[in-house]
Amino acid sequence: MGLQDARERWVRTGGIELCVAELGDPARPSVVLVHGYPDSKEVWSEVAARLADRFHVVLYDVRGHGRSSAPKPLRGGFTLEKLTDDFLAVADAVSPDRPVHLVGHDWGSVQSWEFVTVARTEGRIASFTTVAGPSLDHFGHWIKKRTARPTPRRLGQLAGQSAKSWYVLALHTPVLPELAWHGPLGRRWPGALERLERMPRGDYPTASLPRDAAHGAWLYRDNVRARLARPRPDAYAHAPVQLITPTGDHFLSQRVYDDLETWAPGLTRRTITAGHWVPRTRPDQLADWIGDFAMSREGGAAAGGAGVRSGAGVVGSGAAAVGSGAGVVGSGATAVRSGGRDPYAERFGGRLVLVTGAASGIGRATALAFAKAGARIVAVDRDAEGAIATAGTARLIGSPMARAETADVGDTEAMEKLAEKVAAEYGVVDVLVNNAGIGLSGSFLETGPEDWKNVLDVNLWGVVHGCRLFGRQMAERGQGGHIVNIASAAAYQPTKGLPAYSASKAAVLMLSQCLRAELAGRGIGVSAICPGLINTNIAATARFVGVDAAEERRLRKKASQFYRRRDYPPEKVADAVLRAVLRNRAVVPVTPEARGALLLSRFAPRLLRAVARVDPPL
């Protein structure tokens, strides 16, 4: 998607002609998007298109880039002071009577930090969203703090960022960067981005790339050494700041933002599983967070207060704010205020999470854990009342949107209808948790074909349906995601009393590992969670084959009592699920017995086979 429908104007400032593009209704709040290096404004095209139905969106080519003219001479023409002049000229031209919402990526963020911390822009910026670009002043203080009082940890952080910043030194060398960009580097850059960032080809990069990159080298030469050596002591933000940190940034360590609350009190933090060029690889999520943060500064009423985003679901009423002073957050994302850092809220706030088997046990606990982190929840269960209760609790504890859906995960047609409905009404799922499962106990010889069908329909086919339908939607969207499959320690711990149940969970574990390999190249993680004995109602509802009804009731009661005495709560499994997604873990045993059995399966399988002869509690 390009900017071919944008309205174009030229803004003159200090002898420079800036090319400015606008989308959306000028009567709405203005969002100004500032690009980085070696980009032009087209890097924002996908995000801009997604914001244009709610905001007046403004993009401009930074001086010397795209269609904007370059200063003469180049040396001294790209200082932060002159870049601030450019921003003020654009803001005055496009939104003379009200402050703008500022968004910067990479060097666009570096210069935007200057805009939001100098006195002469005060009152012109309503909010600032920074993506993958620190303030040079803050970075300078970060370096000084680590060199003034060095510790192994601080020196390690400094060394890590220094290794990532090798290109800064290269750009300070005379002539060579210009020759490289006009030569082989310029030709190979699009392919390098496609391989390194999994960036889809489109209207970016533009044909002006070699010229933009050559001119942009002066951004570094005119500013970096001077500011890092003498960072301003008063570089405090005078507008609310939202920090979006890509976890896979090849150029910036997440540690450079550790001290940011000092400079931006009330900072809102977000993390996203992506590389450096988030505007191209994750435009949906980025547009959501930018829009939600701007709307929170506008009283949640931007775009006429519609409360609806295409593909994101209806939010409107029931939107919640988490953290003191967070304000009202519209359209589905919950604001996450630092002041106790919450990595789950930073990562999952506003994300769409679907959990099957959500009416009780591990499914309910997992749905509520994501809800507490500010995620939007779709609670799925064939128990309609239980799913509705889970969704209601999720809204009460922090989810900006929680809906209940009824479906039998083993029913192919029902799951296909569910996937279509979720995509149409709520959007593409960011995290899928295939949790629904049933228990079946008894010897292999007593387990009939219908028993096998029942347990495999739910425990295996339910996972297959979820992965196939929602995983395909994630892959087609092309913006990553995560699939969590709840397996069991029984997947790798054989037992004579659970052949059908163990076989179904072993299949889930292997499916998860195969799918993880297949989807890794699409930015989609897959985790298999393997709990041991968890205090849920699975024992009370399990089938016991080969016995009469009275004996089955007795065995259910005995197994339930055993699980209650074990008393390992499902909330701990839910926490393991969130950690697995946060860290992209492959196989996660949860309880001590699950971890022990996994260890034995790898190093003492004969002992594990001996244990299999003991009658199980279920």
455: Cβ contacts below 8 Å, ≥ 6 apart: 438, 440, 500, 501, 504, 543
In whole angstroms, give the CA distance from residue 439 to residue 454. 10
- Quote the pLDDT of residue 332: 38
> What distances in angstroms separate CA 469 from CA 124, 191, 310, 483, one per listed residue?
46, 31, 20, 11
In whole angstroms, give the CA distance from residue 284 to residue 292. 12
Please give the class, per CATH, of domain 7-314.
alpha beta
Where do the structural domains in the chain lie, given as residue ranges? 7-314, 350-611
In whole angstroms, give the CA distance from residue 525 to residue 547. 42
- Quote the pLDDT of residue 150: 79
Flag whether pLDDT at 312 surpasses 60.
Answer: no
Exposed e or buried b per residue across 10-36, where buried means at least 16 C-beta atoms within 10 angstroms of its C-beta: ebebeebebbbbbbbeeebbbbbbbbb
pLDDT greater at residue 324 or residue 476 = 476
Structure tokens at 617: 């509690």
Quick one: average pLDDT of 37-41?
A: 94
- Quote the pLDDT of residue 204: 80
Flag whether pLDDT at 613 surpasses 50.
Answer: yes
Quick one: average pLDDT of 255-283?
A: 90
In whole angstroms, give the CA distance from residue 7 to residue 23. 6
55-65 residue pLDDT tens: 999 999 999 99
Question: Do you find a cis peptide bond into 190, omega within 30 degrees of 0?
Answer: no
Q: Which residues pair with 125 in a beta bridge?
A: 100
- Quote the pLDDT of residue 616: 57
Check: CB of residue 409 under 8 Å from CB of residue 460. no
CA 167 to chain centre: 27
Tell me the pTM.
0.77
Confidence of residue 308 (pLDDT cuts 50, 70, 90): very low
Ranges of H-type helices in 240-282:
278-281
187: Cβ contacts below 8 Å, ≥ 6 apart: none
Beta strands 7-13; 16-23: pairing state: antiparallel
Strands of the sheet containing 587-589, edge to edge, are 402-406, 376-381, 352-356, 431-434, 481-486, 524-530, 587-589
The gap between the terminal CA atoms of the chain, to the nearest Å, is 55
Q: What is the CA radius of gyration of the chain?
A: 27
Flag whether pLDDT at 264 surpasses 80.
Answer: yes
Per cent of the chain over pLDDT 90 is: 66
Flag whether pLDDT at 313 surpasses 90.
Answer: no
Residue 501: active-site member: yes
DSSP assignment letter at 549? H
- The single-letter code of the amino acid at 596 is G
Confidence of residue 330 (pLDDT cuts 50, 70, 90): very low
- The single-letter code of the amino acid at 308 is V
196-243 residue pLDDT tens: 887 776 668 888 999 999 999 999 999 999 999 999 999 999 999 999
Beta strands 313-314; 308-309: pairing state: antiparallel
In whole angstroms, give the CA distance from residue 603 to residue 64. 62
In whole angstroms, give the CA distance from residue 431 to residue 353. 5
Flag whether pLDDT at 296 surpasses 70.
Answer: yes
Q: Active-site residue among 426, 501, 563, 568?
A: 501
Flag whether pLDDT at 1 surpasses 70.
Answer: no
The total number of residues shown for the chain amounts to: 618
481, containing H or E segment: strand 481-486
Quick one: average pLDDT of 447-469?
A: 95
Closest CA to 244 of 321, 166, 335, 157: 335
Number of other CB atoms surrounding residue 609 within 10 Å: 13
377-422 residue pLDDT tens: 999 999 999 999 999 999 999 899 999 999 999 999 999 999 999 9
Per cent of the chain over pLDDT 70 is: 91
pLDDT greater at residue 540 or residue 569 = 569
pLDDT greater at residue 235 or residue 148 = 235
151-200 residue pLDDT tens: 887 788 778 888 878 888 888 899 998 999 999 998 888 888 888 887 77
- Quote the pLDDT of residue 615: 66
With the C-alpha atoms ordered 549, 496, 564, 532, is the resulting torsion angle positive or negative? negative
Flag whether pLDDT at 465 surpasses 60.
Answer: yes
Mean pLDDT score of the chain: 87
Q: Which residues pair with 402 in a beta bridge?
A: 377
**Domain 350-611 = CATH 3.40.640.10:** no
Quick one: average pLDDT of 562-566?
A: 75
Flag whether pLDDT at 335 surpasses 80.
Answer: no
Check: CB of residue 47 under 8 Å from CB of residue 286. yes
Question: Do you find a cis peptide bond into 265, omega within 30 degrees of 0?
Answer: no
Check: CB of residue 499 under 8 Å from CB of residue 511. no
**DSSP codes of every residue in 115-134:** HHHSGGGTTSEEEEEEES--
Beta strands 440-441; 543-544: pairing state: parallel
Lowest mean pLDDT among 41-45, 60-64, 268-272, 537-541: 537-541
